[in-house]
Amino acid sequence: MDAKHYFTDNRDLPSHKRNLEYFFEGKTYTFTADDGVFSKTAVDFGTHTLLNALLEEDPLTGSLLDLGCGYGVIGIVLKQLYPELSVTAIDVNPRAIELTEENSRQNNSPIVTAVSDGLGSVSDQRFDTIVTNPPIRAGKKTVYRMFEESYDHLSDGGRFYAVIRRNQGAESAMNKLAELFGSCDLIDRDRGYWILRCVKDAN
């Protein structure tokens, strides 16, 4: 799909909602997707790989931001796995946020949502963890701005995670993140998807 379709306000597109089933850690989730959002026919393998990698990390606590949430898979699943976690999900696409709200209800995962260009709608907040499956096709300038804003909105000691395919710029993204954070670790890879982790040092 052309990035302009899912990385913009596309509520005027005809709606063709569909229900998707996703099985993870012994639980079956039902997600409603629609035309005009990323990965509308199935939960994408990058998201699945990121969630698997997060299970191997220290348990998530405090507050988490699902940046560029699409129809809400990452934030909703993590809220189920860590019920005490405070989850916020944001996306520039209003249709994606409408679907995230619907999916939050039908999966009984109460999370906060907002339409947001980058982190603009949460500019007054700090998060202990930020996770993203970034919109690569929106362009490097957009994705790197998301990285920069994520650094600014992490708590000291906070963790940032991203999934990027190697053939879609994972190495250059890793270099950019290392510039921002001082270091960036490749913590997992599967079928060409790289999971990157950065930690914000206390100032």
| pLDDT tens per residue, range 113-151 | 999 999 999 999 999 999 999 988 888 999 999 999 999
Specify the pTM.
0.93
| pLDDT tens per residue, range 60-88 | 999 999 999 999 999 999 999 999 999 99
CATH numbers and ranges of domains, the chain: 3-199 (3.40.50.150)
User: What does the DSSP assignment read for 97-164?
Assistant: HHHHHHHHHHTT---EEEE-STTGGGTT--EEEEEE---GGG-HHHHHHHHHHHHHTEEEEEEEEEEE
